[in-house]
Structure 1
Amino acid sequence: MGSILNIVDRNLFPAPEPSYSYQTFTGDAYIEYIRSQYEQNKDNSHQIPILVIPFYENSVQSDKYLVYFHGNAEDIGLSYQFLFSMQMILKMNIIAVEYPGYGIYKSRKTTAECIKSDSLTAYNFILKRFKTTEQNIIILGRSIGSGPASYVASKQTPKALVLISAYISIKHLIGHHICNCISFFISERFNNIECMNTVSSPVLLIHGMQDTLIPPNNSKMLEKRLKSQNKIVTGIYHKHMTHNDFDERNDISIKIKQFLETI
């Protein structure tokens, strides 16, 4: 069973070769480092990289922030073009949080518990570092990133939570792709549908009807759970969209902009 668990973890968190280095971002976008609070870190050796993409209009920096948790098989460097194009529509600062084991964050192994801890640490750091409030923060999670995004939103009260290609839980996803009998023996890593019970922020769910990696019924079940609790939620299901093939502007950015205008 141990070898099966290792295979599951490798497939859940398939970190690519780092797409960036310490020197990659030297212009307007830059990397900051946050001390990880996961387990003991007395020597300050474990540093969480975050990619900061500021937005200025008429030389004045926006007071709005979008905090992004990326999908699997990518890191914050590979996320840059997607985030930059999104910024042109949303006109706000964007901050992408790296996961342990990804990019240049190699000092820790990739585990769900460390990701959860680091994500919450990063969120609280952003509040203090940029002297902002939760009502100025949007949390966005895509694919595997819907896990840490939902987790943080269940513990905090951002202005909104946006989930792209979200799953209801990792156990459910493993059962769908591998075998229900195997998922029975695997401890839950991210349970998004349970997080919805304590999420109080408005939620936007975007999912592709052609998504075979994470079927759209996952987002529909999250939407149903939120509606059953009379929470603000909007579900958008694009007929043509797959897990990785979509129009960044029309399918994602404009839909987020329109949603934010309603809350």
Structure 2
Amino acid sequence: MEQTKTEQEYEETEADANDISSPVQSSFSKKFFKFFGNTLGLKNMLSKTFIYHQPNPTYLFKEQENSNGTMSYSFQLKKEFIPQHNDIPDYISYDLYMMNFRNKQKKDCAIPIMHIINSKTLGNQVLIYNHGNSSDLGTIFYSLINMSKIYKVNIVAYDYRGYGISKGDINEENTYEDCEMVMSFTLYRLKYRIYQLILWGFSLGSGPAVHLAAKYQYIRALILEAPLASVYLFLENEPSSQYNDQEGDVYGNIYKIGKVRSPIMIMHGKSDEVIPYKHSQILLEKFQQENPNNKKQIQCLLVEELKHNDLKSLIQIKKSLTATKLKQFLQKMIQQTQFDMEYYELNPQLYKILLREEEDLSFLNILHKIRYKVDF
């Protein structure tokens, strides 16, 4: 019997900085984007039109009253979009939250958050999952459950403003703020420590993941799945790690990746038809250029034949090489976290720096900085 794509053992290789294919993009598109975005100040409008693709919401948060009189939410997938499954293990549960706030223009906004809890977790590690375009919590729900089951981790996932049942406008800065508020929520409401947070960014989600990993050095790890180097590089005929045209660029991961101090794992399909795998090669090369003494801090796994959305299926197959390497990476992070807890206690000066970074992520500081008012 012929095997399906998801059952095949794909050929997976470590990245080679010289093994790069070139996407064919229009230089006119870049000039158009730069002129109207920078010169005329229409960057957010152009981004909303050409970058973001928000699907119709595939789920609902149904409000329900608990026996003690408090209110909570139940998760309901819309059957016309997502078929229902009943195969969630009894050791995996999830809690739902709605972060309501007013933005700088005093408009009401909201971010839905899901906290997936695995009682068999190997350590109190948590993935903060930043999803890609054309997705919401409904479309990724069962993938997240499977990831929690296979890798024995807790997961916090959310929708950016403009996606799913959230409220508010989507733009680059708002995705950064949304991720930062969710990180703060994870620390102060869900009671994790900053060195237990692993940022995962898929496709578009690589933008907020890299941005925050570069900003907070005590993040445990950064995982990038089919990441973008930058929108301008996406529009370049011959993208290169030497590229340095930051003004007006969107999701400029290439300018930030070198500032990340946490271990990094990058995964990309070599047949990716949306974001060419050269983007991962560029991020790898850029990091190594800026950190010549820490090249082992980053690893890049390229997978033959895989397209943009195929990797999600492969990492849910326990025996695939990609899943095995990802599991080894996560297990190493768990071991390192346990070591760090003891190490920080023995080094008061470092522990003060860690506490200062956690304080920077506190609600009071985040809200003061972005002038928002949050209510749960």
| 1:189 correspondence with 2:250 | yes
AA at the equivalent of 2:315: E
- 8 Å CA contact retained: 1:62, 1:93: no
Runs of at least 5 residues in structure 2 that lack an aligned partner in the other structure: 1-35, 63-73, 77-91, 238-244, 334-376
Give the aligned partner of residue 113 of structure 2: 50
Shift of the 236–135 alpha-carbon distance from structure 1 to 2, 3 Å rule, reads same
Shift of the 40–8 alpha-carbon distance from structure 1 to 2, 3 Å rule, reads closer
Match of 1:21 among 51, 55, 60: 60
| 1:111 correspondence with 2:181 | no
Give the aligned partner of residue 127 of structure 2: 66
| 1:260 correspondence with 2:321 | no
Give the aligned partner of residue 272 of structure 2: 211
- 8 Å CA contact retained: 2:109, 2:161: no
Deviation for aligned residue 1:18? 0.2
Shift of the 163–36 alpha-carbon distance from structure 1 to 2, 3 Å rule, reads farther
Give the aligned partner of residue 30 of structure 1: 95
Give the aligned partner of residue 200 of structure 1: 261
Give the aligned partner of residue 238 of structure 1: 303
Deviation for aligned residue 1:34? 2.4
SS in 1 for 2:149: helix
Summarize the alignment of residues 73-112 of structure 1 with structure 2, pairs less than 5 Å apart. Answer: 73-105=134-166, 107-112=167-172
Task: Output the CA distance in 2 between the equivalents of 1:8 and 1:174.
Answer: 13
Q: Higher Cα Rg: structure 1 or 2?
A: 2
- 8 Å CA contact retained: 2:202, 2:225: yes
Task: Output the CA distance in 2 between the equivalents of 1:259 and 1:211.
Answer: 23
Deviation for aligned residue 1:25? 1.5
Summarize the alignment of residues 80-159 of structure 1 with structure 2, pairs less than 5 Å apart. Answer: 80-105=141-166, 107-156=167-216, 157-159=218-220
Task: Output the CA distance in 1 between the equivalents of 2:321 and 2:142.
Answer: 16
What TM-score do you get using the length of structure 1 for normalisation? 0.86
- 8 Å CA contact retained: 1:65, 1:92: yes
Deviation for aligned residue 1:47? 2.2
Shift of the 243–64 alpha-carbon distance from structure 1 to 2, 3 Å rule, reads same
- 8 Å CA contact retained: 2:122, 2:152: no
What TM-score do you get using the length of structure 2 for normalisation? 0.61
AA at the equivalent of 2:300: G
- 8 Å CA contact retained: 2:269, 2:305: yes
> Equivalent pairs: percent with the same residue?
28
The C-alpha deviation readout for 1:60-117, integer Å capped at 9, x for no partner, is: 8952111000010001221111111111121111111211111011x31111111111
- 8 Å CA contact retained: 2:195, 2:220: yes
Match of 1:9 among 41, 48, 56: 48
AA at the equivalent of 1:259: F
| 1:167 correspondence with 2:228 | yes
SS in 1 for 2:310: coil
Aligned positions, number: 252
Higher relative contact order (CA 8 A, sep 6+): 2
Task: Output the CA distance in 2 between the equivalents of 1:25 and 1:171.
Answer: 38
- 8 Å CA contact retained: 1:36, 1:118: no
Shift of the 131–30 alpha-carbon distance from structure 1 to 2, 3 Å rule, reads closer
- Larger mean CA deviation between 6-15 and 142-151 belongs to 6-15
- 8 Å CA contact retained: 2:60, 2:165: yes
Task: Output the CA distance in 2 between the equivalents of 1:32 and 1:61.
Answer: 25
Task: Output the CA distance in 1 between the equivalents of 2:165 and 2:151.
Answer: 28
- 8 Å CA contact retained: 1:38, 1:118: no
Task: Output the CA distance in 2 between the equivalents of 1:198 and 1:37.
Answer: 31
- Larger mean CA deviation between 78-87 and 32-41 belongs to 32-41
Shift of the 111–251 alpha-carbon distance from structure 1 to 2, 3 Å rule, reads farther
